Structure 1
Amino acid sequence: MFTDRSPGRGPDPEADDLLIRAAMEQAADGAPALPDLVPVALVQGRRRRNRARATVGAGVTGVLALGVFGAVVSMWSPEGGTQPTGTWSAASQSTTVSPPPSPAATETPQPVRTPVHIEPTPGETGMADLPPAERARQEQFQQQAAALLDELLPGRLGTVRPVDLAVNRYQAGRDGNTFPVIFSVRPKAAPGEATPADPPCRDIPSKGLRCRSAMLPGGIAFRSVTAVGDTKESYSITSVDLRFGYGDSTVRLSVGGDDSTMVSAPVNAEQLVTAVSDSRFLELVKYADSHPMEDKEHTVRGG
C-alpha cells in the first residue's frame, strides 16, 4: 500500500496510524480469533503454587521421618544415649570369653549382692588375683548364681551371697546362723588321666550318712549325700551334697551347717534335687561347662 501526499505537505501522523491499522486488519482478515490467555495463566499459576507447597510439605515430612528414625536408632545402638541397660551387663567387651547368660528381660532386676570377703590363707590365691576381665566375668556369674539359688532354695536358708575367695564359694545366713554353700562346675581330668573313683553309694547309719542315686530330667544321673559334718558335746550338724556329670565337668551343689552354732543345714536332698532340675540352673551349668572358671579335677598318679 502506498500513500499519496500532495507536494509541499508535511507528514500527517494520524493519517499514517489509520493506514497502518487498516493494513493490519486486512492482513488478519479470515484468521481465527486469539484465545483468552488470562484464565490459562491463572490455572497454571495455581498449579505451580500447589506444587511448591507440596514440595515444601514433603521436605518437612522427610525431616520429621529422619528425626523419628534417628531417635529409634539411638535407643538401640551402642552409641545411643538412651540405650536400655540390662541388670546383668557384659563384664568386658575386650575379653574373648562370652559373658554368663543374662536373665530374661521380663524378669524383675535383681539387686547386686555385696560379696562376703574371706582373706586367703598363706599361699592361697583369691579372685582379686585374677586378670580384671576374668574377675569381672566370674563376679557376674556369682551374682546370677546367688540370685537364682536364693530363689530355688528354701527361704529358711536366708539370703545367698557370693564369696570373693573363689567363684564356687557362696554363703547364706539367717537368724545369726551362717551356712556355707558350694556351687561348682569343675572340668574333668583330661582323657587318660586317673581320678579318684566315687565310693559306692550306700547308707552308713553309724556315721549318719545317707546316699541316694537317681536321675534328673534329661537322663542326668546324680548322687546326693546327707552326712554328719561335726559333733560337739551332745549336738551334731549335717550337710547335704549333690553331684552329677554334665558335659566335660563335674557339677556340685552343697549346703553345710553352721559349726559355730551347731545348726544343721536347713535343706534336704530332695530340695537340692528340685533346685538343680530347674532349667535356669542348668543354663548356668551349661555356660560354666563351655567357659570353665575352675581348675581341672586333681589327678591320681600311680593308680
Structure 2
Amino acid sequence: MFTDRSPGRGPDPEADDLLIRAAMEQAAEGAPALPDLVPVALVQGRRRRNRARAAVGAGVTGVVALGVLGAVVSMWSPDGGTRPAQTWSAASQSTAVSPPPSPAATAAPRPVPTPVHIEPDPGESSMADLPVAERLRHEEFQQHVAVLLEELLPRRLGPVRPVDLAVNQYRAGQDGNTFPIIFSVRPRAAPGGAPADPPCRDIPSKGLQCRSVTLPGGITFRSVTAAEDAKESPTVTDVDVRFTYGFSTVSLSVGGDHSSMVSAPVNAEQLLAVARDSRFLKLVKYADRHPMEDKEHSVRGG
C-alpha cells in the first residue's frame, strides 16, 4: 500500500495510524479466531489453590501423627512395662545426637545369689512361718542386700549369699572359709525397754577397739573391732557397725571364721564406707519404713 502524499507536505500521524491498522486487518483476514484464555486461567488457578491446601493439610496431619507416635513411645519402657505419658512433640526435639547408654545400663544382669540353708534353733522363729506374700518380700529384700554387699565389701570376702530362713543373716566366703554377715534393721524399743550401748572406748584387755563417726546429716556410726582370745595367738577379729536411723537400730557386722581361726577380711574403715553408702542407706530406709524384724527388747543386734 502506498501513500500519495503531495510533495512539500509534512507527515500526517493520523493518516499513518489508519494505514497501519488497515494493513494489519488485511494480513489477519482469513485467520482463525483466537481462543478465550479467561476460563482456562480460572481453572488452573482453582487447581493450584486446591493443591496448596492439600499440601498444608498433609503437613499438619504429619505433625499430629508424629506427636501421637511420640506419646506412645514415651509410655513404653525397655522392661516391658509402661511409664506415665510425658510431653513430647516432633517440633520440640533437638537434632543433637543422644549420648550412648551408660555401661551399667547395658551390662548383663547379675545372677541371683543362691540362698544358704541354716536350720533355725529350737523355738527360734524363721521366714518359713510367714505368709507367702510376706516371705517373698523378705526374700526379695535379701537378694538386693546380697548383691549390694558383694559389690561394696572387699573382694577377698568372697561371694555374699542370703540365709534362707533369717532375713538379717548372710554368708560370705571363699577358699574354704565362711564369714557370717549380719544386716539388721530392728525397730527400737520404747525408752527404757533396752539397755543403752556402753560408751565408745577401746578396751585392750578384751581386744576391743571402738570408733565413732558423725555425718553432717546427723547419723552417728559406731564401729567396734573385736579380737577374741586377745591374750593368745592367733586371734580372730570381728567388725561391727551400729547406728540409729528413723525408728530403728541398724547393725552391719562381718565375723571371722572361728573354726579355721581366720579373721574377717574387712576393717572398720571399709565397713563404715559400706554403711555410709547412699545405696545401702536406701535399703535401710526401706526396712525402717517396712519392718521385717521384731522390736528389740533386752538384747540389741541381729
Same fold (TM over 0.5): yes
CA contact (8 A) 1:216 1:277 kept: no
Q: Which stretch shifts more, 211-220 or 287-296?
A: 211-220
Comparing 167-176 with 136-145, greater Cα deviation is found at 136-145
Q: Indicate yes or no: 2:215 matched with 1:217.
A: yes
Partner of 1:254: 253
**Aligned residue in 1 for 2:30:** none
Cα distance, 1:200–1:37 mapped onto 2, change above 3 Å:
closer
Match of 1:197 in 2: 196
Matched with 1:285 is: 284
C-alpha change, 1:167 and 1:154, in structure 2 (3 Å) is: same
Distance 1:249 1:146 in 2: 20
SS in 2 for 1:174: coil
Report the 3-state secondary structure (helix = DSSP H, G, I; strand = E; otherwise coil) of the residue aligned with 1:177.
Answer: coil
Superposition TM-score, scaled by structure 2 size: 0.67
- Indicate the residue corresponding to 1:175 in structure 2: 175
Seen in structure 2, the aligned counterparts of structure 1 residues 225 and 49 have a Cα distance that, compared at 3 Å, is: closer
Q: Quick one: structure 1 residues 158 and 84, their matched pair in 2 at CA, closer, same or farther if it must change by over 3 Å? A: farther
TM-fit CA distance, 1:176:
1.0
> Given that residues 230 and 238 in structure 1 are in contact (C-alpha distance below 8 angstroms), is that contact kept between their aligned partners in structure 2?
no
Cα deviation per residue 1:88-107 (whole Å; 9 max; x = unaligned)?
xxxxxxxxxxxxxxxx9956
Q: Which residue number corresponds to residue 68 of structure 1? A: 69
State how far apart, in whole Å, the 1-side matches of 2:79 and 2:162 are: 32
Letter in 1 for 2:145: A
Post-superposition Cα deviations, 1:52-77, rounded to whole Å, max 9, x if no partner, equal 5654x35862674266236414514x
Tell me the distance in 2 between the aligned counterparts of 1:203 and 1:48. Answer: 93
How far residue 265 of structure 1 moved from its aligned partner, in angstroms, is 1.2
1:184 partnered with 2:155: no
Match of 2:45 in 1: 43
Question: Is contact 1:226-1:269 (8 Å) kept?
Answer: yes
How far apart are 1:187 and its partner, in Å? 0.9
Distance in 1 (CA, whole Å) between partners of 2:201 and 2:44 is: 106
TM-score, structure 1 normalization: 0.67
Q: Deviations over 1:151-170 (max 9, x none)?
A: 22222111112111222111
Whole-angstrom CA distance in 1 between matches of 2:133 and 2:103:
24
Residues 106-137 of structure 1: per-residue CA shift (max 9 Å, x gap)? 56554322221223333333223323333233
- Using the TM superposition, give the Cα deviation of residue 202 of structure 1 relative to its aligned residue in structure 2, in angstroms: 4.0
Whether 1:133 and 2:133 are equivalent positions in the alignment is yes
Percentage of identical aligned residues: 59
The answer for the alignment partner of 2:144 in structure 1 is 144
> Could you tell me which residue of structure 2 aligns to residue 90 of structure 1?
none
1:172: Cα distance to partner? 0.5
Q: Is the 8 A contact 1:244 1:250 kept in 2?
A: yes
2:186/2:291 contact within 8 Å kept: yes
SS, match of residue 238 in structure 1: strand
**How far did residue 239 of structure 1 move?**
1.4
Quick one: distance in 2 between partners of 1:174 and 1:240? 18
3-state SS of paired residue (1:40): helix
Q: Secondary structure at the match of 2:178?
A: strand
Question: Which blocks of at least 5 consecutive residues in structure 2 are unaligned?
Answer: 1-35, 84-101
1:39–1:134: structure 2 CA closer, same or farther, 3 Å change rule? same
Check conservation: 2:200, 2:212, Cα contact below 8 A: no
Quick one: distance in 2 between partners of 1:284 and 1:200?
A: 28
Structure 1: gaps of 5 or more residues = 1-33, 86-103
Structure 2 letter corresponding to 1:170: Y
TM-fit CA distance, 1:260: 2.4
Q: CA contact under 8 A between 1:211 and 1:223: conserved in structure 2?
A: no
SS state at 1:133 partner: helix
Partner letter of residue 162 of structure 1?
P
